[in-house]
Amino acid sequence: MKTALFCFALFIGQLPTLQDKPIVHLRPHQDFIPAEFGGDLVEFTNPPPVIQLPQLPPVKDPHGRPWQIELRNMGPGTVTIMGKAQFSLQIPVGKTVTIKSNDGNYVFVR
């Protein structure tokens, strides 16, 4: 029984490493997303009510792929993401959204 429990704990401990995207955490109360986070899943806990995307929409992420980002709101309240050209998107608690840069603008990916 102890061996099975140990193996289960070891397997669960490795699950985050099986993700295809790195998970980065926005510091509490940080109100902007650095361009270097492109290609990552960004989780935020206790964020400010408004978070800014990079002022100039990036073209490529650090891996050379078209820039996009996944954002996950862990709470406790709804967060508004703001970007260039009046881009605005609200993310309720527990939801994940994808935003990409397209021809100098931000686009919400459904």
3 part of a folded domain = no
Q: Above 70 in pLDDT, residue 17?
A: no
Tell me which of 29 and 23 has the higher pLDDT.
23
15 part of a folded domain = no
Q: What is the pLDDT of residue 42?
A: 96
10 part of a folded domain = no
Q: 46 and 73 in contact (C-beta within 8 Å)?
A: no
Please give the mean pLDDT across all residues of the chain: 87
Write out the H or E segment, with its range, that includes residue 105: strand 105-109
Written as six digits, the tokens of 76 are 């406790």
Tell me which of 28 and 41 has the higher pLDDT.
41
Q: 107 and 99 in contact (C-beta within 8 Å)?
A: yes
Segment 8-31 shows an average pLDDT of: 72
36-68 tens-digit pLDDT: 999 999 999 999 999 999 999 999 888 888 999
Q: What is the pLDDT of residue 12?
A: 60
* Tally of domains within the chain: 1
CATH of the domain at 42: 2.60.120.1230
Q: How many CA atoms lie within 13 A of 35 on its CB side?
A: 16
Domain that holds residue 30: 20-109
